[in-house]
Amino acid sequence: MKLLNTRLYILLILLIGFTTACNKDFLDRTPQTEITPEVFFNTEEDLSLYVNGLLNLPNRSSYLNDQSTDNAATTAAVEIKIMMTGNPSSQTITTGWSWGRLRDINYFLENYTRANVSEEIKNHYAGLARYYRAIFYYGMVKRYSDVPWYDKTLNPSDPDLYKSQSPRSEIMTKIMEDLDFAVSNVRENVPTGTPGKWAVYLMQAKIALHEGTYQKYHQELNLQTSDQFLKTAESAAQEIINSAKFSIHNTGNPENDYAALFESQDLTSNTEVILVNAFDQGKNVTQNVNSVVFGDYEQSPSRDLVQTYLMKDGTRFMENANYATYGFVREFENRDPRLSQTLIFPEWERQPGPTIYVQRLNKNFTGYHQRKGYVNSTDQNVLNSVDFPVHRYAEVLLILAEAKAELGTLNQEDLNATVNLLRRRVGMPDLILTAANSNPDSKLKSDFPNVTGANTGVILEIRRERRVELAFENSRFDDLMRWYAGKLLEKIPTGMYFPSIGNYDLTGDGISDIKLIPEGQTIPSDREKNSLGVALVYYTIGAFNSTAGVYLSNGSNGGSMVTDTRTRTFIEPMYYYRPIPETQMLLNPNLKQPFGWK
């Protein structure tokens, strides 16, 4: 134990020295001046301690990352919203150009071979380090496209400090090389909460799908290797499937099996979860996001998302007559069960219950409340101990289906083994290839006009499935970016529809719960009661930024709830990338701004 504590202390010194870097992190003192590699890189324990120090898993805060998409409205200062409503430049968009983590990774890769252990052990930890490097560069490519490639630690006199970017194609080749090494060498059996072989395969599939579709739909890149990446995505996803290690969580309860993945206190043995971030108050490893997921501030689901979900019989919600004027209760009738397992639904009881919850309407929000990520309990032990599914098998199936659809090789058997497993979990009808392609969804076709060819219909339906299945799991923004669909972010998210002033039922029992009155009227102290003897909740309605409590598109004459009115402009292709901060351009004049940034 003493030896372990000593080595852990050494590791902490190393990591503190590595991660203090910021704008000038290449010029900070080198790790060698903190402690020589001969002292530390000797045993498997040393390698394990170092690589575990690089672990940085997504957590339950990921449920809040759709606020930068068309899935949700927010009042938060989200970067892309600021860009679309302001005058962004390299002087104002200054985050992201940080390389300290890469230095940590490269330092390990320069020194791990010193350990007196077998090649298998060395390659396992090197594979993990290269997996982390691939993820790091994947993030940089998404943000800047061309970036400098560094596979070594740099000293202040190193001329590579001032080199220009490598082309995106070269960086992506390096990323794939790192992942190829990782999938060949990372062990399958690893400690819970750390990435193993199958998590690495999933990341390879995910990154390859992103790059393959990015190249296909982003003509500004003028790259011709999209099919190569799509085939890599297909093969990596297929490897996971062929392993027979995972399956969709399905106990035969379509009304709860999906939601259970996001409310469980123990996902360590769940067959769908490939990598888990485990929380346990008893072990002082906790996270509680209830106060920001539900209701009032961080994000509020959009009506566009609600309308994306299919009807229970598989037909399209937006093909219903007058769907645009459906109220909250009717919107949830006979829908894909994932809707009510993702958002709060009529008749839902908020604990401690048994009172049915009445949706709370707030300024700048949509009226819809998010269920995914919210734990319906008042027990702090429960709230602090819910696990987060970092990687789910469901995403593997979606990757395979999309890759094959984009390659033109998808058949009905493929759909049955992928998308339709997700649909069957919740009791939805199968997606039929010929039917989808013969009658593409007109709304989705309008959203994604660059999807063409014989597989247009099924590609659009797979995109629907991704949006529905992965809602609020931090995938929507990347999806819109890779599909060249940034213009969808110009549409300001709206909320529930109310046709006029009057009384409304929000719980589905046919009894009024709220009363809308015109802006300027005073809410009476003696409020009207419903047939149950319960006083109605009053709201004044009016135009955006009025004194009303609820903003509607037609003001006091009703309409959809309004979250903003500022014009949003998504400049293509510039806004698919970010500028290199001006301070970095001054430090290294060999850098070049991407796609019109100054």
Residue-range domain boundaries for the chain: 187-275+391-474
User: Token pair of 373, please?
Assistant: 């990520």
DSSP category for residue 97? -
Query: What pLDDT, on the 0 to 100 scale, is given for residue 450?
Result: 98
In percent, how much of the chain has pLDDT > 70?
Answer: 94
**Residues 476, 468: Cα–Cα separation, whole Å:** 10
C-alpha distances in Å from residue 554, one per residue of 157, 373, 499, 541, 560? 64, 33, 9, 9, 8
Q: What DSSP line would sit under 359-389, residue for residue?
A: PPP-TTS-S--B-TT------HHHHTT--EE
Residues 6+ apart with CB under 8 A from 291: none
DSSP category for residue 517? E
**Residues 294, 368: Cα–Cα separation, whole Å:** 9
**What's the pLDDT tens digit per position in 492-546?**
999 999 999 999 999 999 999 999 999 999 999 999 999 999 999 999 999 999 9
Query: What pLDDT, on the 0 to 100 scale, is given for residue 34?
Result: 55
Query: What pLDDT, on the 0 to 100 scale, is given for residue 298?
Result: 76
Over residues 428-454, the mean pLDDT reads 98
3-state secondary structure of 436: helix
**What's the pLDDT tens digit per position in 152-164?**
999 888 999 999 9
Residues 6+ apart with CB under 8 A from 236: 183, 201, 202, 204, 205, 208
187-275+391-474 fold: 1.25.40
Q: How high is the mean pLDDT of the chain? A: 93
**What's the pLDDT tens digit per position in 387-418?**
999 999 999 999 999 999 999 999 999 999 99
Over residues 66-78, the mean pLDDT reads 92
β-pairing, 514-518 vs 537-542, is parallel
**Residues 290, 300: Cα–Cα separation, whole Å:** 14
**What's the pLDDT tens digit per position in 540-590?**
999 999 999 999 999 999 999 999 999 999 999 999 999 999 999 999 999
Query: What pLDDT, on the 0 to 100 scale, is given for residue 204?
Result: 98
**Residues 477, 469: Cα–Cα separation, whole Å:** 14
Largest CA distance in the chain: 80
Query: What pLDDT, on the 0 to 100 scale, is given for residue 277?
Result: 97
Query: What pLDDT, on the 0 to 100 scale, is given for residue 353?
Result: 86
- pLDDT surpasses 60 at 29: no
Packing angle, helices 119-144 and 44-53, rounded to 10: 20
Q: To which residue do tokens 């190569």 refer?
A: 228
Are the C-beta atoms of residues 292 and 212 closer than 8 Å to each other? no
In three-state form (DSSP H/G/I as H, E/B as E, the rest C), the secondary structure along 28-52 is CCCHHHHCCHHHHCCCHHHHHHHHH
Give the helix/strand (H/E) hosting 300.
Answer: strand 300-301
Instruction: Give φ, ψ of 457 to 5 degrees.
Output: -60, -45
User: What is the Cα gyration radius of the chain?
Assistant: 26
